[in-house]
């Protein structure tokens, strides 16, 4: 019998609850300090306690996971706490495509995949000298929006960059990626692609609440002008959203282009959950600045199903449960290798 394992953080509760709802055994790899939290939930069958998540590479951990025929569900914490090389060296079967996670972490590869998917990507600005209009400067890696700032001229940029250097958050320009800022409504589009059914499902859309850029918008401009500090886009939480129905066809098309581009660039392609992240401008055109090639924490708001999963399933279907269903189905027809790497 196959089981589902994940790291104790991010969307672990959703993933393991979904797996239990599908009748699968659940295993949580948890840091010792979090044991007290996760013990509260009956749907977690077994816990592997570790001092650090890197221990999933160790023999002790892999032996337990292998004994249980576990499939490991990757999420944001895996990416944030382990290097790409470490992730690629995981011997436990990883749900989806572990090779594509490198494309998520590396800005150049990320841009290449987005362009190959024919997504509208905001223009990158190659040097601070070329700043002509409002831009956003982002730190490399999964910084989660912390220390990202807006600038409308080279002078403005240099001032803010120097503050970040002083704070020890960056060493210099090479740690920053500059991109044109797109004004509009942010939307994070959640998809699931099933290689078993060869079908794309649009699962939901969420908004992110980022501090303190959101707080800044609540302050009158007179007060903003007198402030000498750097805004941040640090994600604090998510809330649900539905799109105008007329936008849905394009949403599916973007998802499908992403799936087929991934298949061309990084085999076996984009299997399982993923998210395309961006902004709808005033003409309803979607500009994407980012993707996540695995389950995103924004799916946690739909543990009981989303307005879109309701259209596809007659039972409350979370992304976690959808993953478990795919695993169950693949195990039944002996095709686990088709959905894991
Ligand atoms: P994470 O790893 O948490 O996804 P990240 O480091 O990859 O974050 P982005 O998702 O690219 O960073 O950006 C963080 C936030 O900055 C976005 O949620 C959005 O609010 C804002 N943002 C990024 N790029 C743009 C853009 N081109 N125009 C407008 N807003 C942007």
The pTM of this model reads 0.95
Same domain, residue pair 291 and 267: yes
> How remote is the C-alpha of 161 from its chain's centroid?
26
- 313: in domain: yes
Q: Are 114 and 124 in contact (CB under 8 A)?
A: no
Residue 42 belongs to domain spanning: 3-96
- Give the length of the chain: 341
- 29: in domain: yes
**pLDDT tens, 244-259?**
999 999 999 999 999 9
Residue-by-residue DSSP string for 233-276: EEEEEEEEE---GGGHHHHHHHHHHHHHHHHHHSTT---EEEEE
**pLDDT tens, 286-301?**
999 999 999 999 999 9
Residue in 114, 233, 282 to alter for ligand 1 test, most ligand atoms within 8 A of Cβ: 233
Ligand 1 atom closest to Cα of residue 141: 6
- 341: in domain: no
Same domain, residue pair 140 and 277: no
CATH of the domain at 40: 3.40.50.20
Ligand 1 atom closest to Cα of residue 277: 10
Same domain, residue pair 210 and 250: yes
- 92: in domain: yes
Q: Number of structural domains, the chain?
A: 3
- 64: in domain: yes
Same domain, residue pair 198 and 241: yes
**Distance between CA atoms of 140 and 159, rounded to whole angstroms?**
19
Q: Is the pLDDT of residue 141 over 80?
A: no
- 223: in domain: no
Q: Pick the residue whose CA is nearest to atom 24 on ligand 1.
A: 289
**pLDDT tens, 302-330?**
999 999 999 999 999 999 999 999 999 99
What CA dihedral angle connects 192, 263, 115 and 169, to 10 degrees? 70
CA of 206 to the centre of ligand 1 (A): 14
Same domain, residue pair 197 and 303: yes
Same domain, residue pair 309 and 194: yes
Same domain, residue pair 65 and 207: no
């Amino acid at each position: 019998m196959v089981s589902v394992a994940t790291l104790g953080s991010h969307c672990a509760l959703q993933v393991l609850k979904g797996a239990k709802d599908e009748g699968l055994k659940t295993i949580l790899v948890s840091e010792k300090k979090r044991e007290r939290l996760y013990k509260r939930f009956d749907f977690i069958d077994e816990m592997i306690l570790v001092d650090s998540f890197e221990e999933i590479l160790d023999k002790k951990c892999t032996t337990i996971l292998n004994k249980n025929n576990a499939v490991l569900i990757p999420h944001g914490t895996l990416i944030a706490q382990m290097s790409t090389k470490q992730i690629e060296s995981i011997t436990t079967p990883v749900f989806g495509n572990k090779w594509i996670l490198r494309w998520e972490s590396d800005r150049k590869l990320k841009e290449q995949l987005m362009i190959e998917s024919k997504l509208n990507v905001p223009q990158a600005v190659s040097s601070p000298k070329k700043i002509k209009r409002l831009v956003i400067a982002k730190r490399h890696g999964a910084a989660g929006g912390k220390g990202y700032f807006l600038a409308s001229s080279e002078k403005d940029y240099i001032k803010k960059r120097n503050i970040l250097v002083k704070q020890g958050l960056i060493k210099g320009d090479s740690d920053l990626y500059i991109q044109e800022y797109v004004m509009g409504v942010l939307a994070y589009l959640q998809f699931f692609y099933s290689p078993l059914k060869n079908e794309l499902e649009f699962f939901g859309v969420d908004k992110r609440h980022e501090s303190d850029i959101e707080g800044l918008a609540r302050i009158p401009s007179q007060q903003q002008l007198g402030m000498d500090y750097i805004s941040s886009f640090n994600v604090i939480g998510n809330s649900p959203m539905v799109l105008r129905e007329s936008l849905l066809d394009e949403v599916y098309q973007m998802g499908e282009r992403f799936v087929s581009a991934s298949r061309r660039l990084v085999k076996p392609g984009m299997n399982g959950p993923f998210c395309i992240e961006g902004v709808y401008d005033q003409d309803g055109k979607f500009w994407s600045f980012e993707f996540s090639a695995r389950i995103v924490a924004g799916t946690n708001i739909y543990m009981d199903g989303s307005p879109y999963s309701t259209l596809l399933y007659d039972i409350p279907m979370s992304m976690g449960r959808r993953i478990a269903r795919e695993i169950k189905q693949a195990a039944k027809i002996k095709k686990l290798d088709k959905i894991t790497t």
